[in-house]
Amino acid sequence: MTEPARQNRSAWLNRNVIAMSVTSLLSDFGHEMATALLPGFTATLGLGALALGAIEGIADGVASVVKLWAGRASDRLPNRKAVVTAGYVLTGASKALFALAHGWPIILAGRVSAWFGRGIRGPVRDAMLAESVPLAQVGRAFGFHRAGDTVGAVLGPLAALWMLTWLAPRDATYRTLFLWTLVPGLASALVFGLWTRDPDHRRLAPGGFAAPIGTDRGSPTFKRFLAAVAVFGLADFAPTLLMLRATGVLGTAIGLDRAMTIAVGLYAARNAIYAAASFPIGALSDRMPRQFVLAGGYALLIIVAAGAALPVADVRFFLALFCLSGLLAAVQDTVEGATVADLVPTPSRGRAYGALAAVNGIGDLFSSVIVGVLWKWGSPAVAFGVVTILAAAGSVLMATLPLKKGTA
């Protein structure tokens, strides 16, 4: 971006920010509709916490490798827009595979394909977004984008909830709904391909992954930042496991079918909080040290995990946990992205976002599998107890980072 554009205080709400937000809204509509249905669908197939945790974890692990490559490649790509568009196409189409599943292999294939597409597009899109706005207002841009993203994440589960309310939550119902996710998923790719522009960027010369970041004066802090994210990532289990926990606990009191439907509604409430909080949190992080905003957000998982360990069969109790989970997601997804823009110069940002996404993906892999294993061979209380300890450690590490407040 030119220097005059960076000095324009209102330049952050531009064509790219709006287009990327609409794209993410549509993509997450389809993705989160499928995610909300997945725990109930796996239950109809007789799959438990271990299978669901393994599916989520393996998909996250695959995505982490792809994100690392995509982030590195984006700093050299002449046409980043085409790569992101292809990622949205793959994500939008893959969830329809669930409609063909009669066991875990097809579900795993669909989930891995979806996360492969997300892995391709995520770091590249984030680099494009960061380069489309003034650096002093990058928190607002990421907050606005995450808000748009999460509006879709609210509408998707609400659409699924509406369908499940009028139709019995049977095997065939889930299969039909998975096919409907094609509509918003493929529309997202169309919007991104037609509306966005790839900001001019100086492409890096060939070199190792660490070279550009390693030569930057802020690299030690960036590495400490990634370390804190990694520790917290070991605790950051998939929200589908929280849905499964709610379904199991509430099902003992009100019946499994009703508990499945309520769990989808709780997930929609979580995403509503996520959408509403993303922009205010992004704006807040432009005005105070981002590490404290992140550490406070990370600490919310301590409460969520400790609460999930308790067998409290009360919808209001789980509603509180899901809302706190949504607030955590808003802080994590908004402020982590803005922090990378603070720590890494423009030519290296693609690979920096790839590194961040890879660290998060690896953490998600281990956290979901750990929770699934401890749940099956121990108990939910043991699984979520371990998560509580790891979340506390991540929060402390983030709070001790030597970051400055935003420059707005």
> What is the CATH number for 248?
1.20.1250.20
Angle, vertex CA 12, rays to CA 136 and CA 202, nearest 5: 75
Composition of the chain by helix, strand, coil, percent to 5: 80, 0, 20
Angle, vertex CA 15, rays to CA 12 and CA 16, nearest 5: 75
- Tokens encoding 71: 């982030």
Segments of the chain with pLDDT less than 70: 1-10, 64, 67-68, 71-75, 77, 167-172, 201-218, 346-347, 403-408
> What is the dihedral sign for C-alpha 70, 71, 72, 74?
positive
The amino acid present at 26, given as its one-letter code, is: L
Specify if 8 maps to a domain. Answer: no
Res 206: pLDDT: 44
How many domains does the chain fold into? 1
Instruction: Tell me the sheet residues that pair with 289.
Output: 405
Please give the C-alpha separations between residue 156 and each of 28, 85, 117, 200, in angstroms, as whole numbers. Answer: 7, 21, 19, 34
Specify if 149 maps to a domain. Answer: yes
pTM: 0.70
Tens digits of per-residue pLDDT, 37-70?
A: 887 787 778 777 777 777 877 777 777 677 667 7
The Cα–Cα gap between 239 and 170 comes to: 22
- Tokens encoding 176: 């039909």
- Give the largest CA-CA distance in the chain: 62
Res 202: pLDDT: 54
Specify if 406 maps to a domain. Answer: no
CA 123 to mean position of chain CA atoms: 12
- Domain containing 297 equals 13-199+209-399
Specify if 7 maps to a domain. Answer: no
The b-or-e profile of 155-185 (16+ CB within 10 A means b, else e) is bbbbbbbebbeeeebeeebbbebbebbbebb
Specify if 112 maps to a domain. Answer: yes
Specify if 3 maps to a domain. Answer: no
